[in-house]
Structures are given as structure tokens and as C-alpha cells.
Chain A
């Protein structure tokens, strides 16, 4: 019988709880929708899909290994984004930050710099 690959881990070590708590307070429905969509994406990765191997409307690359997950199904929603770094090699989904469209540029740049730090903090492979 085939051995199941290890499930993806979630890692929020680099996320600001204050930022997430505030976003949830301001936009609770969008917040829940973002995490529901994160679960859908994790389902695809756990099923063996590779990053870039599929297209889903609410999951987009922002470059520099940063991906954004959008909210869906919320009437009159504030355009919201959950920024993640799917580390395919180690099967870890890093949760980076959360924000709306207005702060997109700053959020993306910060997320990219966080990914850089994550990569630098790892021991180099021989």
C-alpha cells in the first residue's frame, strides 16, 4: 500500500497577532473567508499538487515566493488578502500577514522581506 505524504504544517511564527486580531475585529466575515480559502489551497497541496501547477481564482502569486489568498463569497466585502509562503520542499505553509487592497503594496513588500528572512535563517544545504 502507498504511504501517504506528510501533511502540510502551518506556521505563523512570522505573523503579527495584533494585525490579525485587528483585521478580524474590523472585517470578521472576510477574515473567515480568507482562512476557509486557505484550507481549500492546503487541501490541493496535501493532495500532491505543486505550486504553479494549477489555477484557482483566489490564489495568486505576488512574486518572491509570496502568494496571496483573496476573500470570496462575502457580500459588499472589503477586498482582503492573506499573504502566505507555501514552502513546498518542507511542506510548511507560512502565514505572513493580512491586509486589504489599500495597503497591498506595503504588505507585499513586507511579506517578501519576511520570506527572505525565513530562507536566510535556514541552514544551507551542502
Chain B
């Protein structure tokens, strides 16, 4: 039976000979996505269940059960304790879907700006040329990555504008120009 390149849920259904199984397994996988993420974080940090347990002041078997369970069984103190044991900060994001997309994008830009400011402050505090240079380099990478994605977005918009011009009044007003992008690229290269 050749079943290469299928998802686990599809494979489970194919082997059981019951198509309903695919959905059941998909749902079960989805219901433990947070637990799976926590597990992958622990493993990628090279930490053992015992180390997490020690930090959470509990038995390693509890960590084993937590990682084997699903998201619905996850208690808030355990989640907070596990994340703290990983030495990570946890952020809760409450997003209002009624807020217009444009407002949300602005919010992201401000947030990125805030993080970049923090990075600048870090460079100032460090007073280390090597670190400052790395931060400066990273800052350039951020801009380059943004430009690549923005270019892709602009091209898509441009094609919509052209289509709209041919088929009626233009409905999209593009704000960025190729000249602005070129200027930004030059800044990165400089």
C-alpha cells in the first residue's frame, strides 16, 4: 500500500478503511496544537521533562501527562509554569475582528517600531562594537525582508489597479511607488 506524502490523518483513515477517521484524527490533532507547540519548544531548547518538573516543583510524570494530553486538559497555572520553565515570556493577544484591517496593520507597524527601538537601546547600553554592528546588520535585514514582501504586495495591487482601469473606475489607491522602493533598497545597501 503506497501512502507516501499523505497527512497523518489521511493515512490513519486509509489504513482503517474508514474515511470518517481522517476528520476525527484531524480534530484530535487540532485539539492538542498548543500542547504540541509546548513540546516542540521544550525539545528545541534541549530541556528534559525532569528539568521542567524541577522548575515547576512537580513530578516529571506530571510533565509527561501534560505533554501527552490535549489543550482542554491544560490548566492555566501549568501552562504559565511550563512557559516560565522554558524561560519564555507569554503574551496574550486579544484581537477584535471588528477593527478594520488597516488599523491592525498600523498597530503591527507601531509594534515593530517599538521592538526596533528596544534593539537600539540594547545596542547603546552594550557599547560593544561587535554587537552594535550585528544589530545594525539585523536592522538592514528587517528592512530588506519588509521590502521583498511589500514589493510582492505592491505588484499584486498594481495588477488589480490595471484590471480595474480596464474594467471600470480604479478602486485601489497605491501609496508606494517603485522609486520609493528603490530608495529604500539603496539605504539597505549603503
Contacts and interface: CB of A to CB of B under 8 A. Distances in A.
B159 interface: no
A1 to B, nearest CB: 8
Interface string A9-40: 11111010100110010001001110111111
Interface of A: 9-13, 15, 17, 20-21, 24, 28, 31-33, 35-40, 42-44, 47-49, 53-58, 72-73, 92, 95
A21 B14 CA distance: 9
A119 B16 CA distance: 26
19 contacts: A10-B4, A10-B5, A11-B4, A12-B15, A15-B15, A21-B16, A31-B16, A32-B12, A32-B24, A35-B8, A35-B12, A36-B25, A36-B29, A39-B9, A40-B32, A47-B43, A56-B39, A73-B70, A95-B15
B69 A72 contact: yes
Interface of B: 1-9, 11-12, 14-18, 21, 24-25, 28-29, 32, 35-36, 39-40, 43-44, 48-49, 64-65, 67-70, 73
A42 B36 CA distance: 11
Contact of B4 (A9, A17, A57): A9
B44 A49 contact: yes
B15 A73 contact: no
A91 to B, nearest CB: 11
A87 to B, nearest CB: 12
